[in-house]
Amino acid sequence: MTQMQFPKSFYWGVSTSAYQIEGASEEDGRGASIWDVFSHQPGKVVGGDTGDIACDSYHRVEEDLDLLDTLGVGMYRFSIAWPRIIPDGSGEINRLGLAYYDQLVDGLLAKGILPLCTLYHWDLPQSLQEKGGWANRQTAFAFEHYAGIVFEHFRGRIMHWITINEPWCVSFLSYALGQHAPGLTDLQAALEAAHHTLLAHGLGVKLFRAMNMPGQIGIAPNTEWFEPETDSIDDREAALRRNEFITDWFIAPVLKGIYPARVIEKYNQGGYTVPIKDGDFELISLPIDFLGINYYTGGRVRSTPGEGILELQETFTPMDKTDFHWNIYPDGFYHVLTDLKEKFGNIPIYITENGACFIDPIVDGQVQDKRRIAYLESHLDALHRSVQAGVNVQGYMCWSLMDNFEWSFGYCKPFGLVHVDFQTLIRTPKASFSWYQRVIRHHGLE
Ligand code: IFM
């Protein structure tokens, strides 16, 4: 095992999200979200799975807090379900929804674990979807209203906030590629949704400052890293475009107040436009306190003749893959982080998600998930190299605390450090859980 030490002040944690673990989808006044509706439509989720029960964390707060305590994390990233707080998206506040998160947040604080709260991790209230969802500019203002309620309620208790998780998935994956709720295949709507999630982020940051909120706020885009398959100009251009298409499309507006020119040109050539209004970039690029980075994969790309705007080029050089068929590419993690520093300056960074899907059986009460440990070790090594190269990384949140509802793949793609039996809901820590315990205890690998 490689030896590596992270600073003592470094935050170690794990991530989850509301719809993926909570269940209790109709309890205590919670409204319907787009994922309730989408997952109940035949054929949308593998095996017809839904998040109705998920890991049942809504009823198992104490048990899950004990798991976090045993793991030894200093930070826990979770998300708040907007439809629990405002069931119809913009009207009445549901006090019982807030009470659930009171129990969670107070429980974390009592154990000395810092809450890192995501305001939006994909569970848009269905009533807002019926008015166009993120393709409707008004949704950004509804988000601002929801954020204000949550900020005030948790003032001084939650000190680390994330506005939006993975805006690329909120927009392109959901409105153009149709794989996530609401399941549309309309690129123009996706560009609108993408811009409006960024606007919602900006409005959230503006309000956070206007309310004099103590603490820090940021956003958590997904990132990937692609290298050109050959040294040809076309392949190099394709790799740059691919990196900008996913990663920079959301980071450049937030940190620089612009969209990447190469990608916008591609969209415009195809007759698509981004609905930018005067003043939008001023809001979107308001200074944030940290950037959240979610990194899982990357690869090598080749320019494809006649390549469409959304065609994601294949990797030609074979790479090892996780059981989600994602390339295992730890060097890409290093490149994402060092490239960010080069392009956008040395903003504080939290790794808000990194982890892997591996399907390992439970045998005699144990899950020997050696491949997950190897994946995590190689990514911590890349992270450590980026810290040594001067990238300002403050913490690392592993995805995920436990196996959970993996969106359109349902329960068949486990990412957890803890195995969950979805029949009995029994939690069983895997070998990676003990491995991560040691990492946390030793501030790295020894
Ligand atoms: O499970 C998801 C999470 O909700 C967002 N980021 C990627 C994870 C693995 O696919």
- Ligand 1 lined by 333 (C-beta under 6 Å): no
Q: Which of 22, 192, 244, 353 is catalytic?
A: 353
Contact 433, 368 (CB under 8 A): no
- Minimum CA distance residue for ligand 1 atom 2: 406
183-192 pLDDT tens trace: 999 999 999 9
- Does residue 406 line the site of ligand 1, with CB under 6 A? yes
The predicted model gives 94-105 an average pLDDT of 98
The pLDDT tens digits for 341-400 are 999 999 999 999 999 999 999 999 999 999 999 999 999 999 999 999 999 999 999 999
Q: Cβ of 54: how many Cβ atoms within 10 Å? A: 25
- CB distance 168 to ligand 1 below 6 Å: no
CA 333 – CA 223 distance, rounded (Å): 9
Average the pLDDT over 110-123 and give the result. 98
Evaluate if residue 140 carries a pLDDT over 70. yes
The whole-number average pLDDT for the span 90-95 is 97
pTM attached to this predicted model: 0.98
Contact (Cβ atoms closer than 8 angstroms) between residue 353 and residue 295: yes
| Residue 315 confidence (pLDDT) above 70 | no
26 an active-site residue?
A: no
- Ligand 1 contact, 432 CB (< 6 A): no
Q: How far is CA 345 from CA 228, 240, 286, 349, 351, in A?
A: 24, 19, 15, 11, 17
pLDDT digit string, tens, across residues 265-305: 889 988 999 999 999 999 999 999 999 999 999 998 888 77
* Mean pLDDT within 124-138: 98
How confident is the prediction for the chain on average, in pLDDT?
96
Residue tagged 């990797």 (tokens): 315
Atom of ligand 1 at shortest distance to CA of 122?
Answer: 4
Q: What is the C-alpha separation between 316 and 318, in angstroms, rounded?
A: 6
Note if 406 is an active site residue: no
For β-strands 4-5 and 444-445, DSSP reports them as antiparallel
Q: Which of 22, 166, 227, 377 is catalytic?
A: 166
Please name each of the domains of the chain with its CATH number.
Answer: 4-223+289-297+324-445 (3.20.20.80)
Supply the pLDDT for residue 255. Answer: 98
Residue with the smallest CA separation from ligand 1 atom 4 is 17
Between CA 239 and CA 90 the distance in angstroms is 41
Q: What is the pLDDT of residue 2?
A: 63
Question: What are the two backbone dihedrals, phi and then psi, of residue 395, each rounded to the nearest 5 degrees?
Answer: -170, 170
